């Protein structure tokens, strides 16, 4: 079920009414409703995979209970590895089986040995990369004695399958989200209003920014051989806005929807397009994933290795290669991750690159240096996204060949220049609003709160009109495929 669909527009208010007006006096009934509604939401796409998420939930629930009782280190490790193998095994089969099989066959063919094995027509379950990491963090944290397991299966199931963030995050930790399903939730009008505002802004990001940019991006990548270098370069920049509008828009809708139900989810994007360095961008982009890998891969890895520049470089490359591979079973994602690791490395040797505060904090206009840093970071990231978005390895070479040729100085010529210009104007206005709201959790969090009520509601109506008037061609959320 898509957030930007009529189905969800009916589903959400129905669940909201039942949740607060019928099930509000019984915590277990509320959690049961959340679980059932989440299974309906997920099963709307393909009901056959409901068994998969239920199985994953059950395994980690039982492993968690057993870990709490087991005192022997060896048995605790066996239980932990049971959870890891089951979760990553399912993820590996559905997402990476054909990739490893094809590369295995190719490797043996290189040495003149033929292996008869067929690829399987496997459907990748939506959201498996997200809820797998969410349940894994639960058992790992119990193993490390950071949290205690719950004996309430219904609340644990609600934590795993909570529908706003089930399909594409944010990837929540049990220490943050699970306790919210274990205590009574009281309707808070201010939270509901704030959540609705964030949903509205998320819908604008997705429907107006991402879906319009997608038309240009799809055309550029479908006919990359027909365009000059500057057109391709602008096209990959449009993809950054498409991806940001699509994914951060999803996160805004997810976080806003959760607040309607009295649940707080972590911030997943912190205005990353205004970053001044690659490390800063990654602290602000897909925060739940980068912090997950930091805490469960990078930090443990650094603890096991001697601390020197070589091991830091090695750890950075491993981290970003795994992040790249998490995004897709293809060498192009591995190259993408490796490139990101490469452009991240200067932060290891030039600590001044590690920006912690918001760009031009408390100011309207940034300094020339900040503008330069922002543009440099944005374009380094844009070049990386050629690997991410390209449909083939040949297309990657086409992009690099043309972008780094004299055709980069030619006049851009899209298939529909008028539409490209209109979309650019819309994105520019959007980014101006994002700029003035860059110190907030989302751009319009504080916008209009001190205005007179009729002016504030006029702003909401204008946003709704913009969404309907400038809506692009409906597209699936990009991260559904991961």
Range list of β-strands (E), 27-178: none
Helices assigned H by DSSP within 261-330: 278-284, 287-293, 299-304, 309-327
Active site residue 271: no
Whose CA is closest to 377, among 354, 404, 400, 410? 354
24 vs 378: CA distance, rounded Å? 46
How many Cβ atoms sit within 10 Å of the Cβ of residue 353?
17
Helix (H) or strand (E) run with residue 442 in it: none
Token couple for 357: 């505060």
What does DSSP assign to residue 297? I
- For residues 220 and 235, the answer to whether their CB atoms sit within 8 Å is yes
Residue with tokens 């449009």: 238
- For residues 472 and 242, the answer to whether their CB atoms sit within 8 Å is no
Whose CA is closest to 267, among 283, 255, 249, 280? 255
Token couple for 343: 């452009």
Token couple for 226: 């027909």
- For residues 174 and 131, the answer to whether their CB atoms sit within 8 Å is no
446 vs 443: CA distance, rounded Å? 8
Q: Which residue out of 223, 271, 286, 327 is catalytically annotated? A: 327
CA distances from 286 to 36, 130, 201, 296 (A): 28, 12, 18, 16
479 vs 482: CA distance, rounded Å? 5
CA distances from 119 to 93, 96, 210, 309 (A): 12, 11, 34, 41
Q: What share of the chain is helix, strand, coil (3-state, %, to 5)?
A: 70, 0, 30
Tell whether the torsion through CA atoms of 112, 117, 121 and 125 is positive or negative.
Answer: negative
341 vs 315: CA distance, rounded Å? 9
CA angle (432, 433, 436) in 5-degree steps: 90
229 vs 398: CA distance, rounded Å? 9
479 vs 246: CA distance, rounded Å? 8
Q: Which residues are designated catalytic?
A: 327
């Amino acid at each position: 079920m898509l957030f930007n669909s009529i189905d969800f527009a009916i589903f959400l208010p129905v669940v909201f009414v039942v949740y607060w007006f019928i099930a509000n006096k019984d915590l277990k009934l509320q959690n049961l409703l959340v679980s059932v509604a989440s299974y309906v939401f997920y099963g709307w796409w393909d009901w056959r995979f409901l068994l998969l998420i239920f199985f994953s939930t059950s395994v980690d629930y039982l492993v968690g209970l057993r870990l709490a009782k087991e005192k022997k280190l060896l048995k605790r490790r066996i239980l932990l590895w049971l959870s890891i193998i089951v979760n990553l095994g399912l993820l590996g089969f559905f997402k990476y089986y054909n990739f490893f099989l094809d590369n295995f066959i190719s490797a043996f063919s290189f040495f003149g040995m033929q292996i008869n094995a067929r690829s399987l027509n496997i459907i990748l379950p939506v959201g498996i990369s997200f809820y797998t990491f969410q349940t894994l963090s639960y058992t790992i944290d119990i193993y490390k004695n950071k949290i205690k397991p719950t004996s309430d299966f219904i609340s644990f199931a609600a934590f795993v399958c909570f529908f706003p963030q089930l399909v594409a995050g944010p990837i929540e930790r049990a220490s943050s989200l699970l306790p919210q399903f274990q205590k009574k939730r009281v309707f808070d009008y201010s939270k509901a209003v704030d959540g609705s505002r964030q949903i509205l802004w998320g819908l604008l990001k997705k429907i107006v920014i991402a879906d319009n940019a997608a038309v240009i991006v799809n055309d550029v990548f479908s006919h990359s051989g027909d365009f000059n270098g500057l057109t391709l370069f602008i096209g990959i920049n449009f993809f950054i806005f498409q991806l940001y509008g699509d994914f951060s828009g999803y996160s805004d809708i997810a976080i806003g929807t959760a607040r309607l139900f009295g649940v707080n989810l972590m911030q997943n994007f912190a205005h990353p397009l205004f970053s001044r360095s690659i490390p800063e961008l990654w602290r602000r982009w897909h925060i739940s994933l980068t912090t997950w890998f930091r805490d469960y891969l990078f930090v443990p890895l650094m603890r096991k290795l001697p601390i020197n520049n070589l091991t830091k470089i090695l750890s950075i490359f491993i981290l970003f290669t795994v992040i790249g591979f998490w995004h897709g079973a293809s060498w192009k994602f591995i190259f993408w991750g490796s490139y990101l690791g490469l452009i991240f490395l200067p932060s290891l040797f030039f600590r001044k690159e590690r920006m912690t505060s918001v760009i031009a904090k408390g100011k309207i206009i940034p300094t020339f240096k900040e503008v330069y840093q922002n543009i440099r970071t944005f374009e380094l990231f844009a070049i990386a996204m050629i690997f991410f978005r390209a449909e083939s390895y040949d297309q990657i070479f086409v992009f690099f060949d043309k972008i780094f040729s004299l055709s980069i100085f030619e006049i851009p010529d899209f298939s529909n220049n008028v539409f490209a210009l209109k979309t650019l104007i819309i994105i520019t206005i959007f980014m101006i609003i994002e700029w003035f709201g860059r110190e907030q959790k989302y751009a319009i969090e504080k916008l209009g709160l001190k205005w007179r009520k009729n002016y504030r509601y006029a702003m909401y109506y204008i946003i709704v009109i913009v969404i309907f008037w400038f809506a692009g061609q409906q597209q699936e959320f990009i991260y559904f495929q991961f």
